[in-house]
Structure 1
């Protein structure tokens, strides 16, 4: 049997260079959207609605009676109830509730992937690394690991996560993709010192200024929120696979 293909997209600006039709697209926004999504669902949220813009977040939140949350440039948006910190969504707060979320990079990329014909969309971060890898292995589709970056620019943390996935499952795919090979080599080089290495990243310095160091360390903690957020087109929501809205 011919192996499925696996590609890594290093920036949203490069997404249209890849064929998404028929593929599973993994949206990666380690700092912090996809870490927050996994955490909220792992802690019992019924659903997370990823919205590309602020007005849409407010409107949908009001219609659903849901929690509205989001950030731009690392800070909570005025008029929304909560931010994009995983720590804001413990079980005691989020269990049984719905969350409408908009962020600078991750939710925007998710909608780009849908518009460009992705067959399936899931979200990934170090906190749910194993759940993502196992789902991709069980699938029957090509895989696109899509890094959100920072305002269309490359970033290290998303690429490191893509490399962790390639390291776990790459042998079962055809990886004719230099960016995926580079991501894997970068991950292997730093897999034992990731929490130290990420302190060099531009995003770390950007978010550190807002006192978010604990957030950032959590976001690179493998297995901290093992759940598979799966996007359902009918409801427009991410839910833990197997759960319903």
Structure 2
């Protein structure tokens, strides 16, 4: 019997250095809202999404490429950028065939950290593309690191819930000796009947932050499975639909 690949969960970018990602598929998870928005843009026909980790870098690259520049800092559209981090800003008639240059508080930073640590395959995951992520991870037969973007290095519920959802679906195909993964699975099983109500009942920090900006619709969309079931994969400096 061949040995199963291993699966680990990093619940914060501050912990990423504890994991060897050099032979792993790394899943960047930033449910509210970066990776949900990336999946949505690609699902709606964007040519690619280029993740950059700074606002000035985003503006400069957007000018150079004639691309749409977008992103947020602390949940609001970043100063100097045209668009924000809401999946509803990227319908097909707007984003189709266009390049989106995106910078976010947590998700794009973690993606660059994974690349800098030598990850050979980087994809992005969120509830809207849950099935695509699971199908890809099973097909690769490689070690997996589920990387939660969290919030400014602090643990958050929604990214860990997504890690739990992945483990719930495909965990049996992996060797899991990782307490963070077990915790993620337990949380997800508790939350599964209604993720939105779970986030609300737990007074989740990001739920509060986005609700404060009137973004309940975004939260509900970002917690709903398979509304944008495409696989964003990082190739040659950009995320494309795999």
TM-score normalised to structure 2 length: 0.98
2:205 matched to 1:202? Answer: yes
* 1:62 matched residue in structure 2: 63
Q: Aligned ranges for residues 148-159 of structure 1 at < 5 Å?
A: 148-159=149-160
* 2:239 matched residue in structure 1: 238
* 1:5 matched residue in structure 2: 6
2:229 matched to 1:223? Answer: no
Q: Aligned ranges for residues 1-245 of structure 1 at < 5 Å?
A: 1-199=2-200, 200-232=203-235, 234=236, 236-241=237-242
- Cα offset for 1:198? 1.4
Matches of 1:50 and 1:70, distance apart in 2: 10
Q: After superposition, what is the alpha-carbon deviation per residue over 1:145-197, rounded to whole angstroms, capped at 9, x for unaligned?
A: 00000000000000000000001110000001010011011101110111111
- Cα offset for 1:79? 1.1
Matches of 2:126 and 2:170, distance apart in 1: 15
Give structure 1 stretches of 5+ with no counterpart: none
Aligned length: 239
Matches of 2:163 and 2:77, distance apart in 1: 27
What secondary structure does 1:70 align onto? strand
What value does the CA root-mean-square deviation take over the aligned residues? 0.6
Matches of 1:99 and 1:193, distance apart in 2: 32
Q: After superposition, what is the alpha-carbon deviation per residue over 1:43-92, rounded to whole angstroms, capped at 9, x for unaligned?
A: 00000000001111011111111000000000001111100000000011
Hey, which bits of structure 1, 4+ residues long, moved more than 2 A?
none
What secondary structure does 1:71 align onto? strand
- Cα offset for 1:140? 2.7
